Amino acid sequence: MSDDRDQALRDQIGYLGQAPFYRRRFAELGVDPARVRTVADLDDLPIFLTPPEHRRLQDASLAADGHPFGDFLCADVRDVVSVSSTSGTTGTPILYASTAADVALTDESWARAFRFMGMAPGDGVVVGFGLSMYLAGVPLIRALERAGMRTVPVGAESGTGKLLRMLALMRPRVLACTPSYAEHLIERAPEVLGRSAASLGIEILLCAGEPGAGLPAVRDKLAEGWGGARVHDILGGVHGVINVSCDATDYQGMHVLAPDLCVTTQLVDPTTKAGIPTEDGAIGERVKTALRWQAAPPFRYSVGDVYQVFTDPCPCGRPGERIKVIGRVDDLLIVKGVKVYPSAVKDVAASLVPDLAGEIRIVLDRQPPRVVPPLRVTVEAGQGIPPERHPELAARFADAMHHRLSIRPAVTIVPAGTFERSAHKTRLLEVTGR
């Protein structure tokens, strides 16, 4: 397999030469493309492209060439048959162009995810994601139909009532939606249908669009509400990236299902950008390189996500690498030389549920990453925990942080329900000054 990957990489690099951006960028960075022979050689290369630069390229090509795909588009713009984007952040959306071959490759990567989850042609699937250009929107519908699923694209925009009634009518084996929407449907089912979500016969929950559905606590809660359905978290859907969570109790992130289509486990240090070996447990900024993409292939592209990579066999028994999303490079904190990710601090709080609620905020008096110790963490107590127990919980949390993350924080305990809850990615950092 590594020989196939190396050959695919060499072919892809040869093909990149069609794009002015890549010709320029290899020269600028002093990298001779002919000397990149293997996937392992990529480890020594700098980052070629990031979202701010991608947006700049989009603006420039719109002005110069009349299309917004940047001059790293390798294919003829008339061969672009599909455009998607991430639900991402503010500002100009980052566009992903696909040729017909890319669409086929995306369908194939989704098909692997369906098989991994135990789905089979003929299965009924009700889709409750927004029917958008986002990766789990229209592109997912297309892939489901191609894979032979009985696809019912209800869409989140139809509203909770309609979606629940369609579930009762279609009796699908699979429900596809965000984890927060799946949770909302559990709450609404009795009033809308007069019966529980657990009684609807859903066997598989296909979750995406928000992080966390693979985490055991979230997974168990959704499984219970949906009558024992298996819950899978999916990340990917473009460039040959597709990762799916398994049901291991000792959760090690999502299985990488298409290492032959895209290199997605290479890491660099978030501050120095030096390569980090892909070893079991390694943490770093993920740098992605497509191996078989046609339209505008990412090569050493970082979107600023921090992953942990696992290479030893998974506790679920399946081989292959896994990736766990740790956070964003922008959220990295450095406390006395120790790198700390807010999500890791939240994990420590989650390990002390039910004495703690599992919710935290990190309070900074200036922009990250450097933190003058101690790191200040505000932690919610669990439901019904009396204030007189707060000092003891603060000490336990500080000990657990010291044990697991090698830093000792200053802890403030607040009552359960103090922090605002959000269905979307919650900010764990509060910066009080500049």
Closest CA to 202 of 141, 140, 117, 130: 117
Q: Which is nearer to Zn ion, 246 or 362 (CB)?
A: 246
CA dist 58 and 71 (Å) reads 8
CA dist 47 and 378 (Å) reads 36
Closest distance between Zn ion and the C-beta of residue 109, in Å?
A: 18
Q: Which is nearer to Zn ion, 166 or 248 (CB)?
A: 248
Q: Which is nearer to Zn ion, 45 or 246 (CB)?
A: 246
- Report the residue count for the chain: 434
In sign, the C-alpha dihedral spanning 214, 216, 219, 221 is negative
Question: Beta strands 241-245 and 230-238: pairing type?
Answer: antiparallel
* Cβ neighbours for 193, distance < 8 A, ≥ 6 positions apart: 164, 165, 168
Q: Which is nearer to Zn ion, 206 or 314 (CB)?
A: 314
Q: Which is nearer to Zn ion, 248 or 363 (CB)?
A: 248
Tell me the β-bridge partners of 367: none
Closest distance between Zn ion and the C-beta of residue 208, in Å?
A: 17
Closest distance between Zn ion and the C-beta of residue 253, in Å?
A: 9
Q: Which is nearer to Zn ion, 110 or 116 (CB)?
A: 116
CA dist 153 and 416 (Å) reads 38
Q: Which is nearer to Zn ion, 316 or 352 (CB)?
A: 316
Q: Which helix (H) or strand (E) holds 84?
A: strand 80-85
Closest distance between Zn ion and the C-beta of residue 255, in Å?
A: 6
Binding positions for Zn ion, 303-322, rule CB under 5 A: 314, 316, 318
Binding positions for Zn ion, 109-138, rule CB under 5 A: none
The site string for Zn ion over 317-356 (x = CB under 5 A, - otherwise) reads: -x--------------------------------------
Closest distance between Zn ion and the C-beta of residue 313, in Å?
A: 9
Closest distance between Zn ion and the C-beta of residue 202, in Å?
A: 22
Binding positions for Zn ion, 245-284, rule CB under 5 A: 246, 248
Q: What single string gives the DSSP state of each residue in 246-283? A: ---SS---EEE--TTTEEEEEEE-TTT--EE---TTEE
Closest distance between Zn ion and the C-beta of residue 177, in Å?
A: 23
Q: Which helix (H) or strand (E) holds 82?
A: strand 80-85
Cβ atoms of 281 and 266 within 8 Å: the answer is: no
Q: Cβ atoms within 10 A of the Cβ of 24, count?
A: 12
For the sheet containing 174-177, what is the strand order? 150-152, 124-127, 174-177, 204-207, 230-238, 241-245, 254-256, 322-328, 305-310, 282-290, 262-268, 275-276
Q: Which is nearer to Zn ion, 42 or 248 (CB)?
A: 248
* Cβ neighbours for 329, distance < 8 A, ≥ 6 positions apart: 270, 285, 302, 304, 305, 306
Closest distance between Zn ion and the C-beta of residue 311, in Å?
A: 13
Closest distance between Zn ion and the C-beta of residue 318, in Å?
A: 5
Q: Which is nearer to Zn ion, 320 or 391 (CB)?
A: 320
For 264, the token pair is 């997605």
Binding residues for Zn ion, how many (CB under 5 A)? Answer: 5
The site string for Zn ion over 218-247 (x = CB under 5 A, - otherwise) reads: ----------------------------x-
**Residues lying near Zn ion in the complex (CB under 5 A):** 246, 248, 314, 316, 318
